[in-house]
Amino acid sequence: MGENMECNECKSKNVRINGYESYCLDCGLVEDYFEQQSTATQLSNAIGTHKAGRIVRASSLLTWKEKNVAKATWLLKLIESKLMLPNIVVQDALYIYRALLEKNLIAGRSIEALICACVYIAAKRNNHELSFDDFKRYNVIKVDKVKKAQKFISRNLGLRIEFKDIEGLLIDAFYKFDLPKRAKKFATKLLLELRKKNQVTGKTTKIITATILYFTSKKFDLGLSQRLICSYFLIRHRHLRKNYWLINEALK
């Protein structure tokens, strides 16, 4: 690690020196190391570090896991910029990748494919709109590799993805509770407004759908109680109440 160095982004002391660059193992920020050092120390850092009487390059002091995470974080930053991903999806994708690393499921597999698959799973888990075609559209990686990696991750980590979107769950609820046409129209418009105000990303599909249904019930006095809605979607009452309060504040 760099002596007396801290990351300019997150202020972490967990900074590594790799040749001519420094990078943070916490947030993944990569910077030109020479710009941060005096001329007197540049040469010694470029050559390496003394260890057991030998000069060893700084990159050789990293463990294979640290090198792997650093590369994965760098790739994740590129994908984030191309696909305009929210921070919650990026952090969750990195969490999933670290879980793969801890279970030694990385060896022999493409880091690019695994990172893209982690991003896809994280987007689905956090209700962010992202499809396999987005990777193809921005020339990130071949879609077949991402699909294969996604199945591998889901199978080995036991991650279940809700493939039914909010619109699909709303339609099912409309038929289940036999809502009138005006209520259906209001619920659909409310969903569009929530997407515009960025109140959907980061929340589970069922909680958002349940909250919209509860809003609609109160608006038209349909008599759908919190207990009934939570029982139908199999969610906790406190999650519905908290999300209802947050969305109500955002819509004011």
pLDDT per position as a tens digit, 66-120: 778 888 888 888 888 888 888 888 888 998 998 898 888 888 888 888 999 999 9
**Residue 71: inside a domain:** yes
Burial class for 132, CB neighbours closer than 10 Å (0-12, 13-18, 19+): middle
* 130 and 205 within one domain: no
Q: Is the pLDDT confidence value at 56 over 60?
A: no
Average pLDDT over residues 151-177: 82
Q: Provide the residue range defining the domain that includes 48.
A: 15-61
Closest residue by Cα to residue 116 from 139, 84, 141, 136: 141
* 140 and 87 within one domain: yes
Q: Is the pLDDT confidence value at 11 over 50?
A: yes
Instruction: List CB contacts of 149: < 8 A, sequence separation 6 or more.
Output: 109, 110, 113, 114, 116, 117
**Residue 6: inside a domain:** no
**Residue 2: inside a domain:** no
**Residue 1: inside a domain:** no
Interatomic CA distance for residues 40 and 63, integer angstroms: 28
* 225 and 205 within one domain: yes
Query: What total of structural domains would you count in the chain?
Result: 3
How many helices, marked H, and strands, marked E, lie in the chain? 11, 5
pLDDT band for position 21 (cuts 50, 70, 90): low
Report the phi/psi class of residue 159: left, alpha or beta, with left for phi > 0 and alpha for psi in -120 to 50. Answer: beta
By mean pLDDT, which of 16-25, 43-52, 166-175 is the weakest? 43-52
- Phi first, then psi, for residue 30 (nearest 5°) are -115, 130
* 198 and 246 within one domain: yes
* 149 and 75 within one domain: yes
Domain boundary among 157, 174, 201: 157
**Residue 97: inside a domain:** yes
* 236 and 177 within one domain: yes
Q: pLDDT tens digits for 200-238?
A: 877 778 888 999 999 999 999 999 999 999 998 888 888
Question: Which domain CATH number covers 84?
Answer: 1.10.472.10
* 243 and 218 within one domain: yes
* 175 and 153 within one domain: no
Q: Is the pLDDT confidence value at 39 over 50?
A: no
Q: What is the pLDDT of residue 15?
A: 75
* 68 and 57 within one domain: no
**Residue 10: inside a domain:** no
Q: What is the pLDDT of residue 69?
A: 83
* 184 and 128 within one domain: no
Do residues 69 and 28 lie in contact, with contact meaning Cβ atoms separated by under 8 Å? Answer: no
Q: Is the pLDDT confidence value at 65 over 70?
A: yes
